[in-house]
Each structure stands twice: as structure tokens, then as C-alpha cells.
Amino acid sequence: MSRELAGIIVAAVVVLVFAAMFLAWRARLRRDSGLTAPLGVPEHADVTGRSEVLYVATTRHDEPLERLAVSPLTYRARGELVLTDRGVALSLDGAPTVFLASDRLVRADRATTAIDRVVEPNGLVRLVWRISDGILVDSFLRLVSAEPQQILPELERLCAAPENGVNP
């Protein structure tokens, strides 16, 4: 086999792999097109804290390797996590502000792995929340301007009480 033929075969395989990745992502976007995060912060919410974050991903609950394309949390981004007396606002670069009210938040804890991100043990913050109709999802954040143990007590306080019928 000549070098030219080998090069053509390798290039064809690379094109096929990229085409498969593109088509798989488009299928995921179609599959998850009905999933949206709540937008906009309530008018009289008092800010209790702010932290710079890297948004990693939103996944199916307890399935950290199954990404969901929840609009507008579809792609990784830098942003800010704003704690209020009514819930959590996630303001990501280039996207509208997502607001997770306390009654949507189920749990906040620490994680090590999400999709293709592996960090030091417990280096990610995981927010478990209801997207709609009781469907639970996990959103993973990497804190830039604070340590997880500094923000977790406030996040846990904001989480809905267990008597709401969902066993996290």
C-alpha cells in the first residue's frame, strides 16, 4: 500500500469519526429539546453570596456520564453562581441567567467526576434539582473564587426539605 493510499484511508476515517460525532450531538440536542432550565431572577431576591464558577455539565440524576443538553445549560462556560434568599442564580457567559428556586433544589454536595471532567477528590459542586414534572438532574460546577466547603452550607440551606415527596 502506498503512502498516498494510507493517507487517504486515514483522512476518510477521521472525517467519518467527526461526522459521527456531529450527528450524535445533533441527535442529543433533538432528544433534549424539551428540557429547559428556569430563567430570570425574582425581583426582590436578596443576594447572600457570589462565586466565580466554571459550569461543567448537567446530567441525568446519579448518572454523571450521561450529559443532557438542557437549554441554556448546553455547553461549558465561565460564569457566576449567585446565592440569594430564594434560590441560586447561575449567570453564564453568553447565556440567559438560570434561576433555581429553593423548591426546585433537592441537594447540594461534592463530586469528583462529570462527563469528561475529573478533578481532585470532591473538587466539583453538584446541584441536584428538578427540571420539570419531578425529573431530577445534576448540574456540576467548578468553583474558581471559593472552596466548596465555603459555599456548601449555604447551598444545603437553600435545598428543599425532604418532606416534599422526593427522596434524594
The domain segmentation of the chain, as residue ranges, is 1-31, 47-164
Identity (one letter) of the amino acid at 44?
H
Kindly report the backbone phi and psi dihedral angles of residue 21, in degrees, each rounded to the nearest multiple of 5, phi listed first.
-65, -45
Band the pLDDT of 21: cuts 50, 70, 90: very high
Determine what percent of the chain is predicted with pLDDT higher than 70. Answer: 93
Taking CA atoms, 109 is separated from 126, 128, 133, 138, in Å, by 5, 8, 23, 10
State whether CATH 2.60.40.10 applies to domain 47-164. no
pLDDT per residue as tens digits for the range 103-160 = 899 999 988 887 776 777 778 899 999 987 778 999 999 988 778 888 888 898 888 6
Task: Determine the Cα–Cα distance for residues 140 and 158; give it in Å rounded to an integer.
Answer: 17
Kindly report the backbone phi and psi dihedral angles of residue 120, in degrees, each rounded to the nearest multiple of 5, phi listed first.
-55, 155
Band the pLDDT of 83: cuts 50, 70, 90: very high
Range ranked top by mean pLDDT from 51-55, 64-68, 133-137: 51-55
